[in-house]
Amino acid sequence: MSLHLSKDHYPFPQNSEFWLKGEMDMRGAKRAEILLGIFLAGYLVFSPWLWAAEPKGYQGQRSPQVDIPVTIEKANVVFNMDHLAFAGDMPVGIKYMGLLVQRFKEMKTKGRIIGIFHGDAAYMTLNDQSYNSFRNVKTGNPYKEVIADLINQGVQIEECAFSMKSHNWGNEDLLPRVKVNTGAVGRLIQLTQEGYVQIQP
């Protein structure tokens, strides 16, 4: 058995501080219930579209079935870095050199990776001072640390002598440990004849 009291039976006058506070608390709770109801209704109505708009990776990672497994015991690869192509701010070729280094380590692949810079991408191997002068900036070469890391991991970075001559660059304008070849096109032909696979990102 429950007992319900009307406002007239409350032990405090309706205009008392206690009564007014109770009225305000009840109104606040009611508003909270209404807002919560609106939120839940909106979620139930729109959630199918929200989930559909999510990138696929957020809906549970799926593993593809591999039909042609690739294992490479030995590979020599040359990256032909002759044009500008970026993934965000990072040159695609430099990014994929790093990815290939990691892949070689995972697969225990033996071989060499060479990156040849020339043409429009020749400036990427410049040191900070020469980079600033050529690009008319004050940032220094933003790729120097990535290139240094690639060299540390065994990647050979080369610059084309013809590209250097066309810009009046000397060896002192290049980043440390960057090697200069006679010419990029001839070097690519030479490496291809030696069995290198050419990648042009």
Beta bridge partners, 197, equal 77
Q: What is the pLDDT of residues 119-137, one digit of tens each?
A: 999 999 999 999 999 999 9
Query: How many other C-beta atoms can be found within 10 angstroms of the C-beta atom of residue 77?
Result: 21
Q: What is the pLDDT of residues 132-175, one digit of tens each?
A: 999 999 999 999 999 999 999 999 999 999 999 999 999 999 99
The values of phi and psi at residue 87, to 5°, are -115, 95
Which residue carries 């060479």 as its tokens?
Answer: 114
Question: Coil, strand, or helix at residue 104?
Answer: helix
Task: Report residue 61's pLDDT band, with 50, 70 and 90 as the boundaries.
Answer: confident
Is the distance from CB of 159 to CB of 182 less than 8 angstroms? Answer: no
Which of these ranges, 15-19, 108-112, 180-184, 189-193, has the smallest mean pLDDT?
Answer: 15-19
pTM of the entire structure?
0.70
